[in-house]
């Protein structure tokens, strides 16, 4: 077991900042870590986090602004007993066009708060996940984290390279505390090398993610998302797949064969959109000739070229985002005349089938789109774990 000073750590505990629905926490749990503290400002995300992490004391899951979380004397950030602080600060202010924007944009105060928590809690390691756009300010991020005592490096990873059926590029920062991790720079380098070793050339198609899910039709009623039916789906339902799941389904469910499914409900679509869904070939978007006669944004096709997109059954998905809460026109099911359901999106994100998303229907999409794929989190966590044992 890893030693900090003269005391042996009995549990490898994490702090998850901006935890959302808990995708990154789940990955770390699966690798053997315990959740010490978690914080997010979004009510429904925290409710989902609590629902799926029942072993974590409710007193250690903090709903509210991170500034209040830092000030809360009942949340012992200064106890110096955390192994890793993880999180993905919201990234509205990161720009590919302005190198200094990370420092100047007031929206990036949340990133500064992440650094503040690192400085307060002094974990052995840190992991920060963010969008590709943060690359432009990567050197500044490294400088800020090094200033509070860490050796830090970063890599751009794509989820599809790790057996996740999604083309999702994310920037991963990993840091090791200089004063207690010997050869901290080399340790960080070794962690990244170990992560790299887990890449695969075998891309997982989304058809593998859709195993066992009932075929659905778009919901006919507009407005009332609580309506459930065999045609448009249920909040809780049975699976209808073959007896033996494919390897991807077994992987996300830890070798178990799932028997029930949650959040597999189709949303409402109007007649025009359904016709567009039907006519559009897989892999094509708004500017395809098959829908030119009914495309509602013909005069602004340069702006709305990605307004509609049909996923390809035999390829990984495009990046799952929280925009799905507004509509799923950019995530049209490859073979069924509708947008993908929250569960299909969750499968693409590598959530297990027993992970239940709570709150209003559109919030399911919001939580799933904002999450870190648990499988990617587990890969990162297991590489760090090797340096703690």
The 10s digit of each residue's pLDDT in 273-295 is 999 999 999 999 988 999 988 88
185 and 274, same domain (yes or no): no
CATH number, domain containing residue 188: 3.40.50.150
379 in Cβ contact with 195 (< 8 Å): yes
Rounded CA-CA distance 314/266 in Å is 21
Within 13 Å of residue 384, how many CA atoms lie on the same side as its CB?
A: 31
3-state secondary structure of 117: helix
Q: How many domains does the chain have?
A: 2
| Closest to 39 in 3D by CA, of 102, 93, 120, 138 | 120
164 and 246, same domain (yes or no): no
Q: Is the dihedral of CA 102, 106, 109, 112 positive or negative?
A: positive
Specify the pTM.
0.93
145 and 228, same domain (yes or no): no
Is 45 exposed, middle or buried, given 0-12, 13-18 or 19+ CB atoms closer than 10 A?
buried
Does 137 or 360 have the greater pLDDT score? 360
Q: What is the residue range of 72's domain?
A: 3-202+372-385
* pLDDT score of 72 more than 90: no
- Under the banding of pLDDT at 50, 70 and 90, the label for residue 5 is very low
253 and 296, same domain (yes or no): yes
228 and 137, same domain (yes or no): no
28 and 59, same domain (yes or no): yes
The 10s digit of each residue's pLDDT in 87-133 is 999 866 554 444 455 555 656 678 889 999 999 999 999 999 998 88
CATH number, domain containing residue 219: 3.90.120.10
356 and 380, same domain (yes or no): no
21 and 116, same domain (yes or no): yes
196 and 237, same domain (yes or no): no
41 and 153, same domain (yes or no): yes
Task: Kindly list the catalytic residues.
Answer: 91
Find residue 7's DSSP bridge partners: 4
**Residue 117, token pair as written in the block:** 């928590």
58 and 182, same domain (yes or no): yes
The 10s digit of each residue's pLDDT in 306-349 is 789 999 999 999 999 999 999 999 999 999 999 999 999 999 99
3-state secondary structure of 273: helix
326 and 346, same domain (yes or no): yes
């Amino acid at each position: 077991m890893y030693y900090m000073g003269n005391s042996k750590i009995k549990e490898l505990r994490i702090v998850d900042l901006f935890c959302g629905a808990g995708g990154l926490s789940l990955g770390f749990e699966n690798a053997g870590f315990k959740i010490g503290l978690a914080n997010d400002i979004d009510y429904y995300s925290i409710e989902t986090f609590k629902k799926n992490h029942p072993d974590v004391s409710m007193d250690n899951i903090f709903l509210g602004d991170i500034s209040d979380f830092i000030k809360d004397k009942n949340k012992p950030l200064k106890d110096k007993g955390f192994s890793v602080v993880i999180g993905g600060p919201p990234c509205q202010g990161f720009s590919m066009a302005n190198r200094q924007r990370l420092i100047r944009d007031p929206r990036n105060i949340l990133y500064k708060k992440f650094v503040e928590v690192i400085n307060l809690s002094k974990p052995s390691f840190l992991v920060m996940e963010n969008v590709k756009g943060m690359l432009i300010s990567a050197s500044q991020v490294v400088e800020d984290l090094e200033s509070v005592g860490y050796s830090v490096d970063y890599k751009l990873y794509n989820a599809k390279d790790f057996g996740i059926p999604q083309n999702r590029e994310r920037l991963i920062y990993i840091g090791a505390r200089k004063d207690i991790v010997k050869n901290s720079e080399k340790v960080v380098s070794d962690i990244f090398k170990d992560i790299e070793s887990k890449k695969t050339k075998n891309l997982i198609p989304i058809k593998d993610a859709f195993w066992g899910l009932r075929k659905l039709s778009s919901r006919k009623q507009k407005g009332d998302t609580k309506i459930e039916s065999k045609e448009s789906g249920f909040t809780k339902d049975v699976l209808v797949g073959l007896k033996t799941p494919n390897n991807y389904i077994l992987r996300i469910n830890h070798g178990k064969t799932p028997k029930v499914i949650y959040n597999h409900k189709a949303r409402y679509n109007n007649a025009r959109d359904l016709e567009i869904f039907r006519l559009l070939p897989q892999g094509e978007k708004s500017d395809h000739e098959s829908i030119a006669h009914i495309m509602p944004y013909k005069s602004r096709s340069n702006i709305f070229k990605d307004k509609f997109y049909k996923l390809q059954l035999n390829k990984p998905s495009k990046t799952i985002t929280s925009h799905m809460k507004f509509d799923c026109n950019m995530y049209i099911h490859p073979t069924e005349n509708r947008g993908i359901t929250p569960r299909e999106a969750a499968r693409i994100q590598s959530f297990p089938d027993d992970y239940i998303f709570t709150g209003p229907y559109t919030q399911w999409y919001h939580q799933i789109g904002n999450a870190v794929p648990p499988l990617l989190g587990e890969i990162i966590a297991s590489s760090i774990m090797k340096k703690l044992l």
